Structure 1
C-alpha cells in the first residue's frame, strides 16, 4: 500500500505530461509482478525496469529522429520551442531536437531559431546550449519575435515536442506552443510535432480533457531571483497550452509519421 501511495504522489507532481504516468505505472507493475519479499528486492526490480526504460527511450528517440529528418530540407531554418532534446529525455537525441540532430548528421545545412520560452527560459538555458554543443547553427530569439521571423521568411519549418497528445491529435506542450502554431499556419509554414507513442493518450478524445498544470507565480514575477513585476500584482501562470489538431501538419513517432485525420493514423501506429 505504501509503494502504491509513493507511485501516486510521483505521478501527481506533473498532471499534464502523460509519459510520467506511463513510466511510473510500468515500474509499479514490474515490481508487483516480481512479487518481491523485501524493500531491497523492490528497489532492485524498480531500478532494473527504469534502466530498461532508459535504454528503450534512447532507441525510440533515434528512430524518431530518422523518421522526421526527411521532413527537413537542406538549407531549412527551423523554429523550436522549449526543450525537447537530450536534456528532456534519456539522452543523446531527444524528440524535436532529435529530428534536427538527425538532419544535421545527414549533412543537411540547417539553422535553428530557439525561442527563449518564458517564463522558465528552457529555450535559452537548455535548447540553445544543447544545439551549440552539437555544432548546429542556432540563434536565440524572444518568444515575441516568432511572428516577425516568419513574416520575413526566416523560418521554413516549426518542430516541437509534446507532453501529451490526445486521441484526435490535439497537442499539449509548453505554454506558447499554440501561439506559434497559429502564426505558422498564418504564414503557411509546416508545424511538426515529434513525440514517442507513449506520449499519446488514447484514453482521452481531445485536448479539452488534458489537465493543465499551473506553476508558481514567482516564475513570472522574478527573473534570476530578482523581482521584475510590481509587488502584489495578480499573476496567471499555466505551464502548458493545447494546440488543436488542425494546426498540426504531422506527428512524428518512432513507428512512422502520422498525418490528418490523426485519430485513424495514430491508431494505425499504435
Structure 2
C-alpha cells in the first residue's frame, strides 16, 4: 500500500494527520476551507505541494457541496476570499499562492463566458483543482528520474552506488505522492544504485525522524537517521556522495527557501566538495522575485523549540527564535535545481522556466 498524504474523491477530502506519525496513521476529514487552513497552520499537513493541494481540494469540496453564491458575483467573491485566506496559513511556500492565482483566474474566465452558470463555474474550479493533483504526481516522478540520472552522471559515472543525504521531509507525505528530493532517492533505489540514504532529524519539529524515516522504513530503502549537528561529520566520514533537499520557494536567481538547517548543509557540502541539489516542481519557482532576500520567512511558535509533546525541556524564561525556513544562496547549489522540466544550474533557471511560469 502506497503512503498518501491525502485521499480525495469528488466531494470528499481526508488528510493523514502527520502530527500523529510515526505512532499512528490517522486520516481526518477536511470539509471546508477553514478546516484546511487550520490543518495547514497546525502542520497536520505540510510540504509545499501538499499544502497547495489540500487548500485547493478543500475549496473543491465546499463548492461541490454548494457553497458560494447565489449569483456569479457572490460565487467569484467566495472563491477569491477562500483562496486568499488559504495563502495566509503558511506564507513562505509559494505553491499555494500560485495555485490560488490560477484557480481564481479560471473561475473568472469561466464566469465571463457568455451564458455561464454557477454550476459551470463550480465545475471549472473543481476540475482545475483535481488536475493539479494529477499533475503533481506526474511531476514528482519526473523529478525523481531526472534527478537520479543527473546525480549518477555527476558522481558515479562508472556505475557504482551512491550515498545521499537529505533534510526534512520531501516524500509522498509532502506531495501528491512519490516526492521531490525523496523522489530522487526513491528513483536511485529503484535503479539499484543507492547505497544509503542519510536523513537528518530536522529539529525542532522532527520531520526527518518522524516522517522521512517512516517513509524510508516503509519503502524498505536502506537508510540511516542522523542528528542535525552530525551532517558535516557524515560528509567527512560516512561517504556522502551528494546532498538532495527540497524547496518551498525558488526565486529568479536560484536562491531557495527550505526548512531551516538547509543553508548550513549547503555550506558544509561546499566545503567537502559534495554536490548540493535542490529538487522542486516548477510550481515552487517564482520568477517575480529577484533574490531570496525578498522571500517572507515564516516564524513558528517558540513552544515548538522549548517543548516536546507538551513537556518543557528548555529553561523557563529563555528567549526563542524559531524561523521555519532559511535561504540557501544560489552559489551554494553546486549540483543543480531539479524540476520536472530538467535539471538546471541556478543561473539557467530564469531562462529555462520563463516560458512556462512567471
Bin for the TM-score computed over the shorter chain: over 0.9
What does residue 105 of structure 2 align with? 29
1:218 and 2:297 correspond: no
1:62 and 2:141 correspond: yes
- Evaluate the alpha carbon distance shift between residue 15 and residue 247 of structure 1 in structure 2; reply closer, same or farther with a 3 A threshold: same
TM-align CA RMSD: 1.8
Whole-Å Cα distance in 1 between the matches of residues 173 and 349 of structure 2? 30
Aligned 8 A contact 1:177 1:243 in 2: yes
Aligned 8 A contact 1:159 1:192 in 2: yes
Q: TM-score, normalised by structure 1?
A: 0.93
Aligned 8 A contact 1:173 1:241 in 2: yes
What does residue 89 of structure 1 align with? 175
Whole-Å Cα distance in 2 between the matches of residues 194 and 269 of structure 1? 20
Q: State the secondary structure of the residue aligned to 1:118.
A: coil
Aligned 8 A contact 1:165 1:199 in 2: yes
CA drift of 1:260 comes to 4.6
Aligned with residue 163 of structure 1, among 248, 259, 281:
248
What does residue 127 of structure 1 align with? 212
Aligned 8 A contact 1:256 1:269 in 2: no
Aligned 8 A contact 1:258 1:265 in 2: no
- Evaluate the alpha carbon distance shift between residue 264 and residue 16 of structure 1 in structure 2; reply closer, same or farther with a 3 A threshold: closer
1:102-141 alignment, distance < 5 Å? 102-141=187-226
Whole-Å Cα distance in 1 between the matches of residues 193 and 240 of structure 2? 16
Q: State the secondary structure of the residue aligned to 1:235.
A: coil
Q: TM-score, normalised by structure 2?
A: 0.71
CA drift of 1:214 comes to 0.4
CA drift of 1:154 comes to 2.8
Number of matched residues?
Answer: 268
What does residue 196 of structure 1 align with? 281
Aligned with residue 208 of structure 1, among 288, 293, 296:
293
CA drift of 1:23 comes to 1.4
Aligned with residue 49 of structure 1, among 117, 128, 148:
128
